């Protein structure tokens, strides 16, 4: 960020402003309709069976992938990256960003969907990280079955995977990684509605707009951003127990 005041959009009268907004609205509506069409295509994808008995670790010990559905028909699983042996300050800023967006799950539950984190690290250590950040979503370690759960994909990256249950059988219906996981985010979506946007260097913005030198600015002073209010409130980030 620069120290001097950022540039400003040009000032106009209300009529000219509304005329320009009307032009943009055409593109926004087209974008919405294309998103609807993509979602419709996603619902028509084939699916592949996954071993429902693949082992996870939960608060009471070993459970299965089928157990993680909590009796619901669908499961959205976020595969949280984990840096083994690192303290809380060194854990994944991107996954912390994603986890911090997920709060109210009742709307998902009303559509027969369970949301859960399948962490790519050990249960006790990673669960303490969840507790430090004040999250309460279902949390499991996927370490016992990680290679099979993410077969053909790079382990150690963030992944969002959609599963469907048919009785005791489990099927994978869709997955994404990298910027695809922005589907869980609301902060960036809200930033995109503002004049200055995300303020990141990859964005196409007018000259003089504020921007960070970082590609994705999710940390501050060496920590993921959500750590700071939790530390200031007195919560411990000790992952060793």
Domain ranges of the chain: 45-183
Predicted confidence at residue 1, as pLDDT, reads: 47
Q: Does residue 158 surpass a pLDDT of 90?
A: yes
Q: How confident is the model at residue 215 (pLDDT cuts 50, 70, 90)?
A: low
Residue 28, SS3 per DSSP: helix
| Listed residue (141, 159, 121) closest to 54, CA to CA | 141
CB-based contacts of 122, cutoff 8 Å, min separation 6: 57, 82, 84, 141, 143
Q: What is the mean pLDDT of the chain?
A: 94
pTM assigned to the model: 0.91
- pLDDT digits over 103-146, tens only? 999 999 999 999 999 999 999 999 999 999 999 999 999 999 99
Is 50 exceeded by the pLDDT of residue 11? Answer: yes
What is the second-level CATH architecture of the domain 45-183? 3-Layer(aba) Sandwich (3.40)
């Amino acid at each position: 960020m620069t120290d001097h005041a950022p540039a400003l959009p040009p000032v106009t009268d209300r009529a000219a402003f509304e005329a320009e907004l009307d032009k943009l609205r055409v593109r926004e509506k087209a974008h919405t309709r294309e998103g609807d069409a993509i979602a419709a295509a996603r619902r028509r994808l084939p699916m592949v069976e996954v071993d429902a008995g693949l082992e996870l670790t939960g608060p009471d010990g070993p459970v299965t992938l089928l157990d993680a559905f909590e009796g619901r028909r669908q499961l959205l699983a976020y595969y949280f990256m984990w840096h083994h042996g690192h303290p809380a300050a060194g854990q994944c800023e991107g996954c912390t960003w994603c986890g911090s967006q997920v709060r109210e799950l009742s709307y998902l539950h009303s559509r027969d969907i369970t949301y859960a984190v399948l962490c790519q690290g050990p249960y006790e250590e990673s669960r303490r990280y969840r507790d430090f950040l004040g999250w309460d979503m279902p949390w499991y370690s996927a370490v016992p079955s990680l290679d099979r759960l993410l077969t053909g994909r790079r382990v150690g990256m963030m992944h969002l995977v959609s599963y469907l249950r048919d009785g005791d059988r489990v099927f994978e219906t869709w997955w994404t990684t990298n910027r695809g996981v922005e589907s869980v985010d609301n902060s960036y979506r809200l930033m995109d509605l503002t004049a200055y946007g995300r303020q990141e260097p990859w964005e196409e913005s007018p000259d003089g707009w504020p921007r960070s030198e970082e590609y994705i600015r999710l940390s501050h002073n060496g920590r993921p951003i959500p750590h700071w209010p939790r530390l200031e409130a007195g919560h411990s980030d000790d992952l060793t127990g």
